[in-house]
Amino acid sequence: MKVFFAGSSANLVDSKDVFKLIMRVIGDGGHETISLYDYLGMTLEDIFAKDEDDLRVFYCKWQKIASEIDVAVVEASMPGTVNLGVLIGALVERGIPTVCVCRKGRKPILVDDLLCSKLIWVEYEKNSDVEGLVRWGLEEAERWLERRFTFIISGKIDTYLEKVVKTSGLSKSEFIRKLIEDKIDEG
């Protein structure tokens, strides 16, 4: 399984040991770890120093990463950054099972209740708790993956869904889920 890992660079000094521990747990589980900064070969400071064209290239690389990963693990303890909240939202929108790891009492305020139901939350009190909790979170994420399915659609349906995406702001999967949920509500 390809597991994406991210954490707030604002928390790097306080959380470096936890970041390393999480990445070790992912690797020990036989999973491939993909870290945004390692994969792209840049630090957050490098990203901020880029111009608009460079950022487009960065975004294209991020899209490639997002299309390849199975699960994400995000160390999301406060203080975090808006970037981390946007990242979590993007992962959820793509339907990627996401394990949010945070210190007890330091749950991020930039992730609202709407997203919370689509995340696997793991709260730890001390670093020694992290290993077992992350392992559990990854197991839970694997179970969520089993709920995902793919199906083939015609070109006509795909064209229609592309129009829906452009006009509604919903992703294709969100639109289809909404159709199914509306049918369920109709009883």
Amino acid at 103: R
Smallest Cα–Cα separation from 118: which of 80, 64, 74, 79? 74
Chain centre to alpha carbon of residue 7: 11
At residue 129, the pLDDT reads: 85
Smallest Cα–Cα separation from 119: which of 140, 98, 135? 98
At residue 36, the pLDDT reads: 62
At residue 82, the pLDDT reads: 67
Contacts (Cβ under 8 Å, ≥6 apart) of 143: none
- Averaged over successive runs of 10 residues, the pLDDT of the chain (187 residues) comes to 82 74 90 69 64 79 81 80 76 87 78 69 84 92 77 87 86 84 86
Do the Cβ atoms of 123 and 107 come closer than 8 Å? yes
Model pTM? 0.69
How many degrees, rounded to 5, is the angle at CA 51 between CA 170 and CA 86?
30
- What φ, ψ does residue 73 adopt, rounded to 5°? -125, 125
At residue 51, the pLDDT reads: 80
At residue 138, the pLDDT reads: 93
Span 2-145 CATH architecture: 3-Layer(aba) Sandwich (3.40)
Helix (H) or strand (E) holding 74: strand 71-75
Q: In what order do the strands lie in the sheet with 2-7?
A: 32-35, 2-7, 71-75, 98-103, 119-124
At residue 137, the pLDDT reads: 93
At residue 77, the pLDDT reads: 79
For the chain, residues classed under CATH 3.40.50.450 are 2-145
